[in-house]
Amino acid sequence: MNPSYLLWVILILTIIGYFLGQNRAARVADGRLHRLHSVPSYHGIYVLLWAALPAFLLLALWVAMESWLALELAIAQLPDRFTNVDARALSLLQADVLNIAAGINTGRETAPEVKEAAEAYNNLRSMGDTAIFFVGLLMGLAGLRFALNRISLELRARNQVESVLNVLLILCSLVAILTTVGIVLSLLFEAMRFFTWVPPAEFLFGLQWSPQIALRADQVGSSGAFGAVPLFTGTLLITAIAMVVAVPIGLMSAIYMSEYAPVAVRSAAKPVLEVLAGVPTVVYGFFAALTMAPFVRETFGANGLGLDVASESALAAGIVMGIMIIPFVSSLSDDVINAVPQSLRDGAYGLGATKSETIRQVILPAALPGIVGAVMLAISRAIGETMIVTMAAGLAANLTANPFEAVTTVTVQIATLLVGDQEFDSPKTLSAFGLGLVLFIVTLALNMIALRVVQKYREKYD
Amino acid sequence: MTASTMNVDPSAIAMSNADAVGTGRVKIHSKDVKVFYGAKQALKGIYLDIFEHSVTALIGPSGCGKSTYLRCLNRMNDTIDICRVEGLIELDGEDIYGRTIDTVQLRARVGMVFQKPNPFPKSIYDNIAYGPRIHGIGARRDEMDVIVEKSLQRAGLWDEVRDRLKEPGTGLSGGQQQRLCIARAIAVSPEVILMDEPCSALDPIATAHIEELIDELRENYTIVIVTHNMQQAARVSQRTAFFHLGDMVEVNDTEEIFTNPKDERTQGYITGRYG
């Protein structure tokens, strides 16, 4: 019997339990509900939890252990000559048993004992499933009955239900935190493996990036170079261009929105500006590669100012990334500017300051920490952005500060290194984790500084 | 009792204005001032004269329009989009809502101190220097130093802050901050200073400081103060106007108002029956 039936049965049981608990509590109170320590619905939930939780825990445990347990038991039945072998052969044996049990042809002659073991495995599992169904049902019923019997005027059902909810909430937040920790750890371990191939100093300070490994010894360009400095400078260059675009435009539009715009304009323009934030980065990538890059080449290149412009220039990617970040800067700055107390504006106006004087000399200085925070968050976003640069910036790891040349970024390299089928035992693929670690540390540091700055600012005016 | 009826006869008020033992000449003259916030009328036609070199207190229950009236006098209501002002307000005989008046220049002549101390997030020195700078006064450093020192002295704050002019104004105590704001208002040498409940956020000692200061400032400035504290009105002002539900019910010498109110609403308020 499939254990999922148990889920449905328990679900029905909990609904019944809820109403039974509620009724029992009402009956115990004998019409004077205020005599109960908790209102009847808490008694209902109390019974519900007792009916559901033990059975669910049992089921979860079973699902987790079932196949392992059955396999162990089935293998234990085999004669010693099968099991008394090295670990490798044992795992092969286990795989055989599992395959035969699942009806997959192993393509090899199998001993009848192994077939028997597979049969035993299947039997054990189905027996176990049936058993668990009835045991679970019994536990549910027992829990229900136990909880119902405990209902009395004094039962602190509310407190107990609340503490169960508390545990539930803690579990949920643990999932988020543990996932983060897991991601960081996996990044860290893979990066450590990479650093056994390439020393960290060479990686961090090397000036040449050419993540190749030789297939044959005499191959041309067989030597790989893992100096990540060109990637860092490329990332910096594009981020800087993006900031030059995004910060002035974002900040000015935030000032206009919060200080100058009439209510009607503000309520119409703000959503439009925020639509920009909803555009998928891939679409920005099209825009960068198909519109902005040719435009940059036309304007500054041979037909325009006569400069030497690469077809995939850092400028085009940076400008588009800046456009992407505008709503980010403007909406954060807008919040910060709005948080500057009206009393400061009044104070400046009361002295006869004009609007622009008030904004430049009073509001912006007051909002500065928050704006700095917003800009730092924007920078960390620009550094981590992948799609636009993948599509528009190119792969050439040039060490240059010229915005008209092609550069590549950390994120682009990570993406290209890991696209497709890769084996994770060469420095080429593992270098992606080294880059990822650097990226992670930089953005984490930026975010933390930004949050600190913003927090400090909040304390001052709340 | 014409003043106690809801339909106040403007001429009667004007007369009671004239009756009052005003010292000096009329600095601000207001006639039939009406203020609307959107569709809601906040002031229903105020007739009030404010005399030079005296302290005029505006009292009345919350929401009666006294702060609204005060904010009309330097056109601070202009910063509120939905606010509309009708009627005539004259400063030295000049209509401040007239076409030729620039709010920047008006506010240099009519300074304001607010309910909550609101020093700018700058140093004490820069807080004071801010007003003169935007009006192009004290361009030379030594001139500005003099202005800052004088303003702080007049506000009674100089001795407390002379050694830390570079420190942020927000680091001062509440009472010191409010005196800093008064010094800031004085620094542009206004003719009139409007004070909107300047002591409501302060403790009694700081309040006493400010009240003393107001009394001293009367020599050089015309002061209009909104207050909820009737003892304060009695202590610092020469004339008192009582506002109620958007009307100016009664104005007279402060002593008269507090000892012999003509209107029963005034009497009810100052004896604490409502408000």
Q: Could you tell me if B226 lies within 8 Å of chain A, comparing CB atoms?
A: no
Q: What is the CATH number of the domain that holds A395?
A: 1.10.3720.10
Q: Which domain range does residue B58 map to?
A: 2-270
Whether B184 and chain A come into contact, CB under 8 Å, resolves to yes
Nearest CA in chain B to A347: B118
In angstroms, what is the C-alpha Rg of chain B? 19
**Does any domain span residue A160?**
no
A352 in reach of chain B (CB within 8 A): yes
Give tens-digit pLDDT for A233-243: 999 999 999 99
CATH number of the domain enclosing B134: 3.40.50.300
Q: Are residues A274 and A391 in the same domain?
A: yes
Query: Tokens 């990540």 map to which residue?
Result: A228
Helices (H), A340-422: 342-350, 355-358, 364-384, 387-392, 410-418
Task: Map residue B168 onto helix, strand or coil.
Answer: strand
Alpha carbon of B131: minimum distance to chain A alpha carbons (Å): 6
In angstroms, the CA A243 to CA A372 distance is: 12
Is the distance from CB of B233 to CB of B218 less than 8 angstroms? no
Domain of residue A71 covers 4-155
Do A451 and A328 lie in one domain? The reply is yes
Band of pLDDT at residue B19, cut at 50, 70 and 90: very low
A457/chain B closest Cα distance in angstroms: 12
Residue finishing a domain among A136, A155, A174: A155
A461 in contact with B at a CB cutoff of 8 Å? no
Please state, in angstroms and as integers, the Cα–Cα distance from residue A242 to each residue in A296, A321, A350, B238, following that order.
Answer: 15, 5, 39, 63
Query: Which positions in chain B touch A351 (Cβ < 8 Å)?
Result: 107-108, 111-112, 130-131, 134, 184-185, 188
Task: Find the farthest-apart pair of alpha carbons in chain B and give their distance in angstroms, rounded.
Answer: 59
**A91-100, A105-114, A438-447: range with lowest mean pLDDT:** A105-114
- Look at residue A217 in the predicted model and tell me its pLDDT: 56
Distances (CA, A) of B49 to A436, B30, B236, B254, B269: 74, 6, 18, 14, 22
By Cβ distance, the residue of A263, A349, A361 closest to B107 is A349
Looking from the CA of B65 toward its CB, the CA atoms found within 13 Å total: 24
The number of C-alpha atoms within 13 Å of A210 and in the hemisphere containing its C-beta is 10
**Interface check B185 vs A, CB under 8 A:** yes
State the pLDDT at residue A110.
75
Rounded Cα–Cα distance for residues A418 and A187 (Å): 14
Asked if pLDDT for residue B16 goes beyond 60, the answer is: no
Strands B222-226 and B239-244: unpaired
Check CB contact under 8 Å for B79 and A349: yes
Please state, in angstroms and rounded to a whole number, the distance separating the CA atoms of residues B11 and B18. 10
Sheet with B83-91, edge to edge strand ranges: B40-51, B26-37, B83-91, B94-95
For residues A142 and A280, membership in a common domain is answered with no
**B194 exposure class (CB count in 10 Å sphere: 0-12, 13-18, 19+):** buried
What pLDDT, on a 0 to 100 scale, did the predictor assign at position A462? 44
C-alpha pair distances (Å), A177 with each of A181, A184, A185, A447, B44 = 6, 11, 12, 17, 61
Same domain, A288 and A371: yes
Task: Return the top range by mean pLDDT from A68-82, A88-102, A343-357.
Answer: A343-357
Contact A366 B81 (CB under 8 A): no
Chain B residue numbers with beta carbons less than 8 Å from the beta carbon of A350 are: 74, 76, 107, 111-114, 185
Substitution target from A351, A355, A360, A364 for chain B, most B beta carbons within 10 A: A351
AA identity, residue B146: V
Type of residue numbered A205: F
What is the spatial distance between Cα A133 and Cα A8, in angstroms, rounded to a whole number?
A: 11
Asked whether residue A30 is domain-assigned, the answer is yes
Same domain, A123 and A214: no
The percentage of chain B sitting over the pLDDT mark of 90, rounded to a whole number, equals: 58
> How many residues are recorded in chain A?
462
Judge if A147 and A36 occupy the same domain.
yes
Query: Would residue B275 count as lying in a domain?
Result: no
Same-domain status, A292 and A221:
yes
Which of A55-59, A79-83, A152-156, A377-381 is the least confident region? A79-83
Tally of domains in chain A = 2
- Comparing A419 with B214, the larger pLDDT belongs to B214
Is B117 among the domain residues? yes
Cα–Cα distance for residue pair A187/B67, rounded to 1 Å: 62
Claim to verify: residue A125 and residue A227 sit in the same structural domain = no
Q: How far lies A161's CA from each of A41, A164, A433, in Å?
A: 10, 5, 45
Does the structure show a pLDDT above 60 at A53?
yes
Residue numbers in B near A343 (CB within 8 A): 114, 116, 118
Residues of B in contact with A366 (CB under 8 A): 120-121
| Position B175 in a domain | yes
Domain boundary among A155, A174, A198: A155
Is B16 part of a structural domain of the chain? yes
A341 vs B contacts (CB less than 8 Å): 118
- DSSP 3-state assignment of A340? coil
CA B75 from centroid of its chain's CA atoms: 12
Mean pLDDT value of segment A201-228:
73
Position A197 in a domain: no
Report which DSSP code applies to B123.
Answer: B
CA distance B16 to chain A (A): 31
| Residue A161 located in a structural domain | no
User: Residue B158: which pLDDT band, with cuts at 50, 70 and 90?
Assistant: very high
Is residue A175 in a domain? no
The answer to whether position B36 is within a domain reads yes
User: With bands split at pLDDT 50, 70 and 90, how would you rate the model's confidence at A38?
Assistant: confident
More confident residue, B177 or A454: B177
Asked whether the beta carbons of residue A346 and residue B114 sit closer than 8 angstroms, the reply is yes
Please check whether residue A195 lies inside any domain of the structure: no
Helix (H) / strand (E) element for A335: namely helix A314-339
A283 lies in the same domain as A407 = yes
Reported as a single tens digit per residue, the pLDDT across B41-93 is 999 999 999 999 999 999 999 889 999 999 999 999 888 888 999 999 999 99
Judge: A347–B120 Cβ closer than 8 Å, yes or no: yes
The confidence score (pLDDT) of residue B51 equals 93
Instruction: Indicate the number of domains in chain B.
Output: 1
Q: Rounded CA gap, A195 and A435, in Å?
A: 11
Query: Do A235 and A131 share a domain, yes or no?
Result: no
In a domain, B61, yes or no: yes
Task: Tell me: do A21 and A115 sit in the same domain.
Answer: yes
Whether residue A247 has pLDDT greater than 90: yes
Q: Does A364 touch chain B (CB under 8 A)?
A: no
Domain boundary among A109, A124, A155: A155
The span from the CA of A197 to the CA of A212, in Å, is 13
Mean pLDDT of A377-406: 86
Structure-token pair, residue B34: 């009406």
